Homo-oligomer: A and B are copies of this chain.
Amino acid sequence: MVNNRQKIQFNVPEPTLRRLPWYLAYAQLELRNGESCLSSTQIAKNIAVDSSIVAKDLSYVNISGRTRVGYDIKELVTILEAFLGFTNSHKAFLFGVGRLGGALLYDNGLQQFGLEIVAGFDVKHELAGTSINRIPIHHLDNFTELQQKTGINIGILTVPIDKAQSVSEKIISGGIQAIWNFTPFRIRVPENIVVQNTSIYAHLAVMFNRLNAINERLTEN
Contact = CB atoms under 8 A, between A and B. Distances in A.
Interface stretch (A69-77, A123-131, A190-198): A190-198
Interface string A77-99: 00000001110101000000011
Contacts of A102: 106-107
A212 B11 CA distance: 12
A209 interface: yes
B194 A85 contact: no
A173 interface: no
Interface of A: 6, 9-10, 12, 14, 17-22, 24-26, 28-29, 32-33, 46-49, 84-86, 88, 90, 98-100, 102-104, 106-110, 113-115, 153-154, 161-162, 177-178, 180, 183-186, 188, 192, 194, 196, 198-216, 218
Per DSSP, chain A at the interface is helix
Contacts of A17: 202, 205-206, 209
Contact of A201 (B29, B48, B113): B113
A70 to B, nearest CB: 18
As for how many copies of this chain the complex holds, the number is 2
Contact of A177 (B20, B200, B214): B214
Contacts of A204: 84-86, 90, 110, 113-115, 180, 196
Contacts of A196: 203-204, 206-207
Given A99-B109, A161-B25, A200-B200, A18 B208 contact: no
A200 B203 contact: no
A185 to B, nearest CB: 5
